[in-house]
Amino acid sequence: MSQIFSGGVFSSDLSDGRAGVEIELLSSHVCASTAEGDAFVIPYEQCSVEQGGYSGKMLFCRNPDRSITIFSEDPSFLAALDEASRGLLSEQLAAERAKSKRQSRRGSLFVTGIVVGAAILIVLLYYGVRVGADRVTKALPVSLDKQIGKMAYQAMPKEGTEVHDPQLVDPIRGIVSRLAEHAKVEGLDFDLHVVDSPTVNAFCLPGGTMVVYTGLISASESPEQLAAVIAHEMSHATLRHGVSRISQSMGLSAAVSLIIGDSAGLLAAGEEFFRNASINSYSRQQESDADGEGVMMLHKAGIDPSGMPGLFEVLKEEHGEVPEALIWISTHPDHETRIAETKMMIQSLPDKNYDTIDLDWSEIQSRVTNSVEMKSE
């Protein structure tokens, strides 16, 4: 019993050159019949087959002079034609099957390539905009940093009460002022706050708002060691790491907003960001940059920069594995490497006679102790 398929025919004998047909696979030939009763016949032994068309799934049957082309897109047409022709077209049909599989694989590879290429383009666009945003961030006025820092300081928890004892605060402020003369960015007003807390920590918000905890003063064996931590934290502000962190945390849309000059979103996000984020969670590269810039600030200010690796070593020797309470060192990754790196930075500096910071350090530390005792009474 013959099979009938829907399809079409191309022939110059048709007024429009083509027509829809019903295709019947008979024992010796393919027969295509139009609704008007026209019939087109191609014997199997004279038939050449080819798969293609717009969808790539049409099977074309042509006579030797290609004056007649019968085609169908029915998925079962190829197998039925192979069976009806009793092997006469098997070699051609097998070749078309293989060609179809190759084209399908190429198509899959092409689609995969498009997807991968699009993904790469998105990544490049994202990081390209990030780099652009970083450059724009550095070009923003430092007044924006100041606004972010002041808003964040007012909103964030302080972990203790602020100390106003001038004999304790003024010497620390003197160290800050000495370092500020060599800040990488002009226009920053380093506003110091000493907070009574056993937390071994210090941080500097965008714009220069700075907090030093009394726990860090107690842990430092010399004013040079405290100065090293202060220089490191001040460097985060002068290198504008805080503003960069905000713009990066806000994502691609924020980067685009910055590039087109809209900094309002950055300012609005700054307060919330520093209220909820860890102050000391800068990237490894930012920490390294702050170390380098801090060492340079100390050197220019005539303060011995060896206090930086020195404090690391003191904390390690006294506390072994760094406990969570020692926030300043515990939140800075891989301190062993950083000790080695800061020592190498110091060795690369030109020779200079450093001035000892003229402070009675034991007296300052005793005032921290007295403050704690008075508070507990």
Does residue 181 belong to any structural domain of this protein? yes
**Same domain, yes or no: 194 and 263:** yes
Give the pLDDT confidence of 101-117 residue by residue, as tens digits: 776 565 455 555 555 55
- Domain annotation covers residue 120: no
- Indicate whether 90 and 189 sit together in one domain: no
Examine the domain organization and report whether 217 and 341 are in the same domain: yes
Cα separation of 134 and 266, whole Å? 12
Q: Is 11 exposed, middle or buried (0-12, 13-18, 19+ CB in 10 A)?
A: middle
Q: Give domain status of residue 121, yes or no.
A: no
Contacts of 244 (CB under 8 A, 6+ apart): 134, 137, 286
Instruction: Report the DSSP beta bridge partners of residue 203.
Output: 211
Q: What is the pLDDT along the chain (377 residues), one digit of tens a residue?
A: 567 899 999 888 888 788 899 999 998 999 999 988 889 999 999 999 988 776 667 889 999 998 999 999 888 898 899 889 988 998 888 888 887 677 656 545 555 555 555 454 444 444 554 555 555 556 667 777 787 778 778 777 778 899 999 999 999 999 999 999 998 888 788 999 999 998 888 888 888 999 999 999 998 999 999 999 999 999 998 988 877 776 665 554 554 454 444 555 555 555 455 555 445 567 778 888 888 999 999 999 999 999 888 877 776 665 544 444 444 444 454 567 777 888 889 888 888 999 889 999 999 998 887 654 445 44
Does the residue 208 lie in any domain? yes
Pair of tokens at residue 23 = 């295709």
| 105: in domain | no
192 and 315 belong to one structural domain: yes
Final residue belonging to a domain, choices 96, 130, 157:
96
Using DSSP's 3-state secondary structure scheme, residue 58 falls into strand
Are residue 254 and residue 171 in the same domain, yes or no?
A: yes
- The last residue of one of the domains, among 96, 131, 152, is 96
Residue in the block written with tokens 């004056």: 67
Distance of CA 308 to the CA centre of its chain: 31
Strands 191-196 and 209-213: parallel
Task: State if pTM tops 0.75.
Answer: no
Last residue of a domain, one of 96, 130, 151: 96
**Residue 200: its pLDDT value, please?**
85
Please compute, for residue 131, the number of CA atoms within 13 A of its CA located in the half-sphere on the CB side. Answer: 5
Percent of the chain at pLDDT above 90? 29
337/224 same-domain check = yes
Into how many domains does the chain fold?
2
For the chain, the average pLDDT equals 78
- Assess whether 61 and 178 both reside in one domain: no
Q: Are residues 78 and 159 in the same domain?
A: no
352 and 287 housed in the same domain: yes
Q: β-strands 48-52, 29-33: how paired?
A: unpaired
Residue 361 lies in a domain: yes
Task: Assess if residue 104 is contained within a domain.
Answer: no
11 has which bridge partners? Answer: 68
What whole-number distance in Å separates Cα of residue 215 and Cα of residue 194?
A: 10
Q: Are both 74 and 162 inside the same structural domain?
A: no
CA 260, distance to chain mean position in Å, is 20
- Contact present, 254 and 134 (Cβ < 8 Å): no
Question: Same structural domain for residues 67 and 160?
Answer: no
| 172 closest CA partner among 236, 105, 103, 218 | 218
Q: Is 55 part of any domain?
A: yes
**CATH at 32:** 2.30.29.30
Q: 221 and 74, same structural domain?
A: no
Tell me the residue range of the domain where 32 lies.
Answer: 3-96
